Structures are given as C-alpha cells and as structure tokens.
Amino acid sequence: MDKLVIEGGKPLSGTIVIQGAKNAALPILAASMLASGTSTIEHVPELLDISVMLSILRELGCQAEHKDGTVVVQTEKAHSPHVPEALMRQMRSSIFLMGPLLARFGEAKVYQPGGCAIGERKIDLHLQGLQALGAEIEEEGNVIICRAKELQGADIHLSFPSVGATENIMMAAVLAKGRTTISNAAREPEIQDLQNFLIQMGAKIIGAGTDTITIDGVEELSPCRYRVIPDRIVTGTMMVAAAVTRGNVTLLKTQPAHLTSLIHVMRRAGVQITIDDDIIMISNSGRPKALERVVTSPYPAFPTDLQSQLMVLLSLADGVSVLKETIFEGRFMHVGELTRMGADIRVDLNAAFIRGVKRLYGATVEATDLRAGAALVIAGLAANGRTIVEQVHHIDRGYDRIEETLSHLGASISRYSPVTNN
Ligand code: EPZ
C-alpha cells in the first residue's frame, strides 16, 4: 500500500488549478446510461472512484475511455442491468446506478453497498423513492433487485435531504410517465450539475439547488457533451492547507459561491481570503483564532466533507473550539491520529472539543477514509518534523495525485509505493 512522506513546516505558496468535482462526475457518468449513443463529459479528474465507475459502465456493456480529463461513453451496446458485486464493494456510491438502470432497462440488480469508516450509509431513502415511482424491490441477502414495467411520476418527500437519494430519484424520474416532485431534496451544487447535464440530454427538470425539484418525464433522452463543475471539497482542502502552513496560495478555476460557508468560517478564524471571479486567494501569517461552534449540516451549511480538514486548522488555533458532526455518525476517525500528532481534542458523542496547541509533531498515521486522510496530510504539512501517512489509496479516491499538487506549492511530500521504492 502506498505511503506519503511529508517533511512539515514549509509555508505553501503559488498557484494551482482545481480539478473537476468527483461527486458531480460520478452521478453524471451514471446518468449517461439514460441515453443510447455517445456522451462526452469534460473536466473529469483521474481518481480511483472514477475508474471504478468506468469499469462498471464497461461491465454493463458500454464503452468508456478517459483521456486528458475527458470521458467518452458509448452506451448503444449497454445490455446488462446488473452491477457486479466486486465493483460495488469498491465504491458504495455506485448505488446511484439503480435509477438510470431502472429507467433504461426496467430492471436493476445491485448489492447492499454496506457501511464504511464514516458510518452505516443506509439506502432506505433511495429504495423508498424508487418504490414511489412504481419500482418493485426484492432484497435477498445482500442482493437488491428493482423492477418496473413502467415508471410513474410521483410526489416524493425525503425525510432527510440525502444527496444520493435525490440523485437516484432524479435519474429515474426523467424517463417516468408524468410529473415527479422531490421535496426536502438535497441542494448541493453537484445536484445542480446533474440537473444541468440531464437538461442537456433533453430532460424537463427544474428546482435543483432548492429544496423542491420538479421533473416532467420525457419519452427519450439524447447523449450530449458536458463540462463538470470544479471540486468544492478539493478547493476547501487546499484552502485549509494554505492556512495551516501560514502560506500564500492562489486557486484558479474554482466556484467560490460553492464555498460560502467555509470562506465565512475561515475568515472568522482570521485567515485572509480574497475572491476574484473564479479565483480564490488565501493567505495567513498568524495563529488562527478558535471558533466557538461550527456545525456540519446539509448544503449550503458547513459541509461534512470539510469537517476533518477544518479540525486541523482549529487544532492549531488560539483557544478552544467546538466542531459538531451531524451528517455521519462515525466521522471522527481522524481525531485519534491527530491526537498522536500532538493535537488536544476530546470527543463527546458527535461533538469534538478542540483545545488549540502551538504546534503539531510529525508521526506515522493511517488514513481511514477519504477526507480523514486528506486532513492527516494537511496536519503533516503544518507539523514539525516528518509525517508518514499510510493507506493512501483512501486519499487517491478523491484527490488526483495530491503529492504532485502540494509539491507544486512548495511542500516537501513524496509517495512511496512498496514495489517501486524498495
Ligand atoms: C454524498 O454521499 C457524497 N458522496 C459524500 O461525499 C458526502 O459526504 C455526502 O453526500 C453528504 O454531503 C457522493 O456524492 C459520491 P447522503 P451520500 O445520502 O449520497 C443518511 C466524499 O468524501 N442516509 O446525503 O451517501 C446517511 O446514512 C463523500 O466525497 C440515510 O439514512 O450522502 C448519512 O448519515 C463521503 N438513508 C446521511 O444520510 C439513505 O437512503 C447523508 O447521506 C441515504 C442516506
């Protein structure tokens, strides 16, 4: 398993371009199945999760190539509604292939995606939504089979604004008969990106980005060309990395409007952030201020995917901060590892009480999930001495060659692969 070796204490400086959004590209690639023909999706990052999604599309009978950030998917020959279990286990969010498969084939066979380090990751809202559209769902062990001779529009209310469930329902409803409304829908920018892709294919859909989405089913959709939005979580990760190393970094091709909550929180902590169109400039020369209380909530509130990264900033702040996680029940796996680097953090249920320290110290730490891993890299950049981050494959799921991006900004970071660096 690869490791990252980081010599900390170097302020980041320079300019980078932000990659395309993983969490927008994944549902959009799934949605390409809704039309027969060749779709071209641009600004798709080279990530483990993306390559798993392309493998699934190929297993379903599509042709899919990813070159220079552009994916070309040919779906004419798609023939199977069955997502292989091994691939589902590699990426749980392949569950949102159910909607497109059901809409295209009238059937979908998937597997319980199971939980992961950050939580149980239930899919009941996905299944309830598809059932409301007329799908019959059979569960035998960990196999889930959905069938629907014809999908009928329905009024669906989500008890929680689940991102994946909103996306699955949208992708099934665009080819259903009649009107579907999704109330208490997730409002994330990735939902808006999926809506814009579906509209490009000929779907009739409005409301993404608000809590009510209305879809009028159409007979058929056409393949299209589309460019994915920038990755707001990668942007936020780099902003925190710049701040904790007391650096001076410019991020290009971002969408600042997708990060208003993080920008507000970081400014409260005393970090200088300047915005100019699609450019975000971050500079920080002093010790961050502690923040009395930050709570993760569905968009547009503070995103759970930036909670672990912010915790590193608060670990170095002057004072005590409280960081509350309300989306996932297990998203404090990074706390133990940060404590081993000298952070002073106490967890009580879903709240972390963080007493800022003057400095962190390098250690050998283990990434347990994607964003916890990113947080440990950020901590290593800020720490005195050497940090070794193990299980780096978690980080590669969401960051395209993170060590190259950070080296470009002046970090001392290198990757060791067991085979090549003996
Ligand atoms: C998406 O996951 C993202 N993944 C996650 O990003 C992100 O953390 C999450 O949304 C919240 O913003 C992708 O887009 C691929 P949810 P998703 O359904 O769709 C519960 C990353 O780091 N829930 O909004 O799985 C669930 O258990 C990843 O890039 C149900 O109870 O998130 C969780 O507690 C991590 N029943 C909460 O809702 C359901 O049917 C949020 O889940 C579905 C979800």
Give residue-wise pLDDT tens across range 275-301.
999 999 999 999 999 999 999 999 999
pLDDT surpassing 90 at residue 91: no
Tell me the percentage of the chain whose pLDDT exceeds 90. 93
Question: Could you tell which of 19, 23, 331 is best to mutate to test the pocket of ligand 1, judged by most ligand atoms within 8 Å of the CB?
Answer: 23
Test site for ligand 1: of 28, 44, 162, most ligand atoms within 8 A of the Cβ: 162
- Give yes or no for residue 260 having a pLDDT over 60: yes
Q: Answer whether residue 150 shows pLDDT above 70.
A: yes
Nearest CA among 402, 228, 384 for reference residue 309: 402
Closest protein CA for atom 16 of ligand 1: 162
| Mean of the per-residue pLDDT values of the chain | 96
Which atom of ligand 1 lies at the shortest distance from residue 369's CA?
A: 22
Q: Looking at the predicted structure, is the pLDDT value of residue 20 above 80? A: yes
CB of 130 closer than 6 angstroms to any ligand 1 atom: no
Contact 328 CB / ligand 1 (< 6 Å): yes
Q: Hey, which of 160, 234, 394 would you mutate to test ligand 1's pocket, going by the most ligand atoms within 8 Å of its Cβ? A: 160
* Statement: residue 159 has pLDDT above 60: yes
| Distance from the alpha carbon of residue 31 to the mean position of ligand 1, in angstroms | 18
User: With a 6 A CB cut-off, is 121 part of the ligand 1 pocket?
Assistant: yes
Mean pLDDT to the nearest integer, 165-194: 98
- Nearest atom, ligand 1, residue 303 CA: 12
The ligand 1 atom at the shortest distance from the C-alpha of residue 96 is 19
Pocket flag, ligand 1, residue 394 (CB < 6 Å): no
